[in-house]
Amino acid sequence: MLKIEGLTVHYGVIPAIKDLNIEVPQGKVVCLIGTNGSGKTTTLKGVSGIVKAKAGRILFEGKDLTKVDPHQIVHMGISQVPEGRGVFPDLTVLENLQLGAFIRKDKKAIKSDLEEIFSLFPRLEERKNQLSGTLSGGEQQMLAMGRALMARPKLLLLDEPSMGLAPIIVQEIFKIVRRINEEGTTVMLVEQNAKMALSVAHYGYVLETGEIVAQGTVNELKNDDMIRKIYLGIH
């Protein structure tokens, strides 16, 4: 579904990612793991058009996204849940979710999708008239995910969904990631919590200073000594 070929992105003169090659097959969860500053978020921003490629290209369903504007990329079927959640604090939960569907005209389907989001995230229904800025971190993460899903994406880009959340909430979020995928949405996941990422993904890439240093199926990565030691804390 998504193919990144030789992608290089610079911030000023500093290369953030260098000659990256990644594939995300339809219907799968692919994770990028690595420490802070390894280029994970930049990769997602490259896919969603927020940062521009210096070299290489990004193909989505065979179409080159490299020169496409972010809003057009959303229309093509890619939604991103940003790091830090990015909910609109002065709007209610319901208004945030409705904004997620702004590119759609199918009112009836929007209504049934809203009901689907509330079944995925019952807490959002309980708080639908509450201002988003008053929600807990976990609830804001659920809202950011729900808002992205309201665009009916074929590919969901998830950036650090566990960041700053209590372990019990993290488990809940990842259960929902698995369910979203089982219901047909392809997921590209960026996550520092390697253990959680590998619990839901089918395939993974390990990034260090903008380059891939390891890749493989989840089982291959879990059995790799370097990954076990550095990222999973297993000696």
pTM score, whole prediction: 0.93
Query: pLDDT at residue 37 above 90?
Result: no
Look at residue 20 in the predicted model and tell me its pLDDT: 96
pLDDT above 90 as % of the chain: 85
| Token output for 166 | 């209590």
User: In this structure, are residues 36 and 192 in contact, taking their beta carbons and an 8 Å threshold?
Assistant: yes
Look at residue 230 in the predicted model and tell me its pLDDT: 86
Report the pLDDT averaged over residues 88-103: 95
Query: pLDDT at residue 13 above 90?
Result: no
User: pLDDT grade, residue 139 (50/70/90)?
Assistant: very high
**Alpha-carbon distance 123 to 139, whole Å?**
7
Report the pLDDT averaged over residues 65-74: 93
Query: pLDDT at residue 119 above 90?
Result: yes
Query: pLDDT at residue 132 above 90?
Result: yes
User: pLDDT grade, residue 231 (50/70/90)?
Assistant: confident
Look at residue 56 in the predicted model and tell me its pLDDT: 96
User: In this structure, are residues 113 and 104 in contact, taking their beta carbons and an 8 Å threshold?
Assistant: no
User: pLDDT grade, residue 169 (50/70/90)?
Assistant: very high
User: How many other CB atoms sit within 10 Å of the CB of residue 154?
Assistant: 17
Look at residue 135 in the predicted model and tell me its pLDDT: 96
Return the DSSP state at 103.
Answer: T
Q: What does the domain layout of the chain look like in residue ranges?
A: 26-49+69-204+213-230
The DSSP H or E segment spanning 157 is strand 155-159
- Using the structure block, give the residue that is written with the tokens 């807990």: 136
Report the pLDDT averaged over residues 102-110: 91
Q: Which CATH number fits domain 26-49+69-204+213-230: 3.30.70.1280, 3.40.50.300, 3.20.20.70, 3.50.50.60?
A: 3.40.50.300
Look at residue 233 in the predicted model and tell me its pLDDT: 78
Look at residue 235 in the predicted model and tell me its pLDDT: 62
User: pLDDT grade, residue 199 (50/70/90)?
Assistant: very high
Mean residue pLDDT across the chain: 93
Query: pLDDT at residue 115 above 80?
Result: yes
